[in-house]
């Protein structure tokens, strides 16, 4: 962190504030008409009324203090001043086999909190679900960003088969593979061997693990680092947070 | 890990198997009468019938293969052979401000998966809930152990006020304090400075953070190590998995 106390307090204050993600460009004086769902959320869920102030962001123009205006039908807001400059997301892709329902919602939210820069669903032989609701994942990513004050909302891209991911893998991007069978018993040593600043990706498999032929294909890729997440078998959403914590602490922005 | 392939495969097979936690002592030939809830679970949820085999454990006597017997009323099981010896839980206490409902369930399950040896709810000024359902936390701990093949089920103890926890703190137990305001920007360096084998505890505060006077009291304790979990503010259940991952990777059983 190492921020001066004033800025730190501001960030902490911001956390308690109401945040809303909007699509349109933001600048001082911008007036934003809200759609009915947003209006309902602000008026009926957050119980805000005309004149109340919230924070808004669009993932590109930083965070702005904005004032609500308008009556019961046409809710709008006006951007007043910028409270934080836009931050860039980490060059850290999170590749995961989709889970079912609530666990997937949860995993997406957690990956956003942990600072993933892109969410890439990957279909494997043992993937629990073939139908992936991208819009729902996007909504979960936005919700996590609103709650945790993240300005760089990670994109969620269309699912790809594992073989296609590997076939198109760019050599310069390190692929950190969470392998239950990795011999390496020290995941941090494996991560410290990588160069900071390298583009990163993390791959967490489905709860049944990867098929042996899939593991062979992954391990054949020269960009792969294998790491083991300890002797206990973790559920996939737990593994997501655990590996992202290790990666951020060694190679990412948890280390100054 | 470094286990021989045979043992590793057994563990992976076990993960897919049905596991049931029971209270009574286990030995070869032990017959266990199941209570109605357990009988219902095995018969109607898992759809097992007379003669089916499951794995059972009690947190003390290892894991046993057991066969179901009995009719529709009196379901019982007979322990056949031990499949794994009892393992000792880590000397790692997880201290946390209770959250509400589903998030608390989730946090308890995650702490168990991550290998916490004891769960200690701590009441702070900004704790979201004063009423803590210990039985529900115990049920969640058992469920996580059943699902993830953990034989040392961590205990859940009665909630204590933070001041009481600190007043009775044993000097030899390191208290790893997740401090949003920690100056240290490298949590791993702080953890590497600790001696392996030291009794450990991790303290994660409520979502509103600790009150300034609480922070002062915590930091006055000579057993405390402060760590920061990066520049983003994490929800408490995310912080739980993240700090436990770092602790296990540096000081715990993720490192051989």
Q: According to the model, what pLDDT value does residue B71 have?
A: 67
A249 touches chain B (CB under 8 A): yes
Q: According to the model, what pLDDT value does residue A16 have?
A: 62
Angle, helices B236-251 vs A236-250, to 10°: value is 70
Of the residues A232, A236, A250, A252, the best mutation for testing chain B's interface (the one with the most B CB atoms within 10 Å of its CB) is A232
The pTM for the full model equals 0.90
Q: Which residues have C-beta within 8 Å of that of residue A4, sequence separation ≥ 6?
A: none
Portion 62-81 of A in contact with B at CB < 8 A: none
**What stretches of chain B show up as alpha helix (H) in DSSP?**
5-16, 36-40, 101-113, 134-148, 162-167, 187-192, 212-219, 236-251
| Contact between residue B22 and residue B59 where contact means Cβ atoms under 8 Å apart | no
Neighbour count for residue B143 (Cβ, 10 Å): 15
User: What is d(CA A61, CA B113) in angstroms, rounded to the nearest whole number?
Assistant: 39
pLDDT one-digit tens code per residue, B39-57: 888 888 888 888 999 999 9
Portion 134-193 of B in contact with A at CB < 8 A: 147-150, 180-183, 185-188
Residue of A nearest to B8 (CA): A181
Q: According to the model, what pLDDT value does residue B15 have?
A: 52
* pLDDT higher than threshold 80 for residue B135: yes
| B188–A188 CB contact, under 8 Å | yes
Of the residues A181, A242, A248, A252, the best mutation for testing chain B's interface (the one with the most B CB atoms within 10 Å of its CB) is A242
Q: According to the model, what pLDDT value does residue A60 have?
A: 95
pLDDT one-digit tens code per residue, B5-41: 333 333 343 456 789 999 999 999 999 999 888 888 8
Portion 15-34 of A in contact with B at CB < 8 A: 15-16
Q: According to the model, what pLDDT value does residue A15 have?
A: 52
- Residue pLDDT tens, chain A, 256 long: 333 333 333 334 345 678 999 999 999 999 999 988 888 888 888 888 889 999 999 999 999 999 998 766 678 999 999 999 999 889 999 999 998 888 899 999 999 999 999 999 999 998 877 788 999 999 999 999 998 899 999 999 999 999 999 999 999 999 999 998 776 678 999 999 999 999 999 999 998 889 999 999 999 999 999 999 998 889 999 999 999 999 999 999 998 7
Measured in whole angstroms, how far is the alpha carbon of residue B80 from the centre of its chain? Answer: 27
* pLDDT higher than threshold 60 for residue B179: yes
User: What is d(CA A201, CA A93) in angstroms, rounded to the nearest whole number?
Assistant: 4
Higher per-residue pLDDT: B203 or B90: B203
| Contact between residue B43 and residue B75 where contact means Cβ atoms under 8 Å apart | yes
DSSP letter at B225? E
Which of A252, A237, A95, A248 is CA-nearest to residue B249?
A: A248
Pairing of strands A63-69, A53-57: antiparallel
Of the residues B230, B236, B247, the best mutation for testing chain A's interface (the one with the most A CB atoms within 10 Å of its CB) is B230
Q: According to the model, what pLDDT value does residue A7 have?
A: 36
């Amino acid at each position: 962190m190492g921020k001066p106390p004033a800025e730190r307090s501001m960030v902490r204050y911001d956390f308690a504030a109401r945040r809303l993600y909007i699509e349109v460009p933001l600048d001082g004086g911008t007036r934003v008409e809200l759609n009915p769902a947003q209006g309902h959320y602000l008026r009926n869920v957050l119980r805000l009324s005309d004149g109340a102030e919230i924070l808004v962001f669009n993932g590109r123009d930083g965070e702005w203090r904005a004032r609500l205006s308008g009556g019961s039908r046409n809710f709008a807001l006006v951007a007043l001043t910028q409270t934080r400059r836009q931050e860039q997301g980490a060059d850290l892709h999170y590749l995961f086999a989709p889970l079912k329902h609530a666990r997937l919602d949860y995993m997406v939210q957690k990956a956003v909190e942990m600072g993933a820069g892109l969410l890439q669903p990957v279909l494997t032989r043992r993937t629990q679900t073939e139908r992936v609701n991208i819009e729902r994942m996007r909504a979960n990513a936005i919700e996590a960003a609103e709650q945790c004050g993240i300005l760089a909302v990670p994109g969620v891209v269309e699912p790809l088969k594992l073989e296609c991911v590997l076939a198109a893998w760019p050599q310069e991007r390190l692929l950190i593979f969470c392998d239950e069978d990795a011999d390496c018993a020290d995941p941090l040593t494996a991560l410290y061997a990588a160069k900071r600043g390298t583009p990163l990706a993390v791959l967490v498999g489905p709860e049944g693990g990867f098929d042996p032929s899939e593991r062979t294909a992954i391990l054949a890729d020269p960009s792969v680092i294998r790491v083991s997440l300890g002797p206990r078998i973790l559920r996939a959403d737990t593994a997501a947070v655990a590996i992202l914590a290790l990666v951020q602490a060694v190679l990412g922005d948890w280390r100054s």
